[in-house]
Structure 1
């Protein structure tokens, strides 16, 4: 039996733990989890859990090493502090813990900073990139906005190192006072006028780097990818967001070709996610996440149990490359869960 450890994951890890547990081979695993919130949903799927201290840098790595040593962890699937852990992966090897992480540190550092990753792909032909500029002063922001707007683009911006939709804003200069009032009574809007954004950014001399980009207004697609330990692509499944909570798992050659080119260039092992968004029929890169995505459990309705196959890959257990089912229309419902005592 192998002990598997998930540290401070999203609540979707609840699904991934159970997908590994309910594997078709009948392999037995014991699951360990840590999180600062002892009642976090991801921990409810674990056999053993521990409240994680709030630590940074080397202190966090030492905590994770000690946890793996104390609990004889065979496979560690990190999300928090992935880069710091990857840099010390050999120390985990020494205690018999296999870490499911990309060990190409320069690549991983680039993936964490979107502007650096875009620069590394510029002119490579791997995947089309949106037009963008980098700003860390209000005047740079103004110049970037004006440059992109002059090219006919709607403009948005986002921190270079944000995860998911954190910090994403769309510049909309047509917003009325009524629109702003409606924001107080309805859903929070990502829209902001240039003057509002510029005024806020002007309040400081310098701010964390922003990517000021062309807005990609059309459909968004996540391509969930499974690779072996050497980064050889085994399966790629595009998941397109449709209306509401509806997703479509589609066999689209242009997206599968992007996945193949990314795999050949980056050699990311195990499970990762490529996010693209369309503009005028062209899929352009948003970001690549070198981990299981939040919506992977929907992609796995294709018949490909990516979390379990990734575990098999890191354990060196052979398996045939999976053949996904496409043409699937899928959604999700809230799942009631009886919580364990804290």
Structure 2
């Protein structure tokens, strides 16, 4: 049986492991998981789990290589430190471990930095890019806000290097009612004055991308490619109200996915995020890994995690035609961890 290791993934890796384990070919795998928190729910889907050290750089690479050698890992699916690991693929190959990561270092690094990636795509006719400015001073932030808001757009901002929605804020007009807001829901909105005051507290800050607010439908397109980056399937997932998603067949978005795949050649599983503004789909970002909502997309009948594993092992994978027109949601699920002693708080085997 092939051995697969996932390092410090999000909790949704629980679903990835079970999707790969429940593959339609009946192939059996042994799963290893590591995380600094031994009780992280992603580990409960694995056959073996271990506490991961919180180290970086060469020390982390040595930990990974040792883990693979100790456990005879056949395939390593990293989430943490993907760029670092990609720089050392030859060292994993030497010990017989395949790594499911984009090996094009320049491409991978650009996808991790929104400004670099936008610049790499501009003018190529691949995908529309939002209007944006990159700033690292309060005055630069103020200038960018003025320029973008004068065009009639609402404005938002986000760090050029961040994951998911971390650091994303929408600049709202007016000051609002602070007391009412204190008693209301926590939102992603802030005023220009609040943001400017905070950014003015330092001389320079890490790069922020100030950009036009895209007001219309948001899509997350889960993609599967072979090891050479040839696109095999793309499934658009539209975010609706609350936790509701729609798996939709969109010729426009499938064509967009094909253009990105042909231009970038991203292997295995990756995710394209776009948002419409005035009828035009504009790129938010591309995640060169399995997305957080991929398990919802797999309701289409396409087991992308398993097919990506096949591609990583160099096997031929033929995804079925996805089923579209599906409305889906999700609920919390109780997952049993180890038994523990109430007196000592220690796990009981």
The Cα offsets for residues 12-47 of structure 1, whole Å up to 9 and x where unpaired, read as: 000000000111111110000000111000000010
Q: Distance in 2 between matches of 1:253 and 1:146?
A: 36
1:302 to 300, 303, 319: 300
The answer as to whether partners of 2:219 and 2:237 remain within 8 angstroms in 1 is yes
The answer as to whether partners of 2:74 and 2:97 remain within 8 angstroms in 1 is yes
Aligned to 1:265: 263
Runs of at least 4 residues off by over 2 Å: 180-187, 319-322
1:231 to 209, 229, 232: 229
Q: Distance in 2 between matches of 1:141 and 1:100?
A: 38
**Offset, 1:123:** 0.8
Aligned to 1:253: 251
1:21 equivalenced with 2:15 (yes/no): no
**Offset, 1:319:** 2.9
The answer as to whether partners of 1:246 and 1:329 remain within 8 angstroms in 2 is yes
Q: Distance in 1 between matches of 2:91 and 2:121?
A: 31
The Cα offsets for residues 286-309 of structure 1, whole Å up to 9 and x where unpaired, read as: 000000000000000000000000
**Partner secondary structure for residue 44 of structure 2:** helix
Q: Distance in 1 between matches of 2:318 and 2:252?
A: 24
Q: Distance in 1 between matches of 2:317 and 2:228?
A: 15
**Offset, 1:340:** 2.1
Gaps of 5+ in 2: 340-346
Q: Cα distance 1:147–1:325, how it changes in 2: closer, same or farther (>3 A)?
A: same
The answer as to whether partners of 1:2 and 1:30 remain within 8 angstroms in 2 is yes
TM-score (norm 1): 0.98
Q: Distance in 2 between matches of 1:100 and 1:197?
A: 39
**Offset, 1:270:** 0.3
1:287 to 281, 285, 288: 285
Q: Distance in 1 between matches of 2:14 and 2:183?
A: 33
The answer as to whether partners of 1:234 and 1:322 remain within 8 angstroms in 2 is no
Q: Distance in 1 between matches of 2:317 and 2:269?
A: 15
The Cα offsets for residues 137-158 of structure 1, whole Å up to 9 and x where unpaired, read as: 1111111111101111110000
The answer as to whether partners of 2:214 and 2:277 remain within 8 angstroms in 1 is yes
The answer as to whether partners of 2:302 and 2:319 remain within 8 angstroms in 1 is no
Q: Distance in 2 between matches of 1:299 and 1:336?
A: 21
**Offset, 1:126:** 0.6
Q: Distance in 1 between matches of 2:295 and 2:139?
A: 43
The answer as to whether partners of 2:307 and 2:319 remain within 8 angstroms in 1 is no
**Partner secondary structure for residue 134 of structure 2:** strand
The answer as to whether partners of 2:132 and 2:209 remain within 8 angstroms in 1 is yes
**Offset, 1:181:** 2.5
Which aligned pairs between 1:26-105 and structure 2 lie closer than 5 A? 26-105=26-105
The answer as to whether partners of 1:223 and 1:239 remain within 8 angstroms in 2 is yes
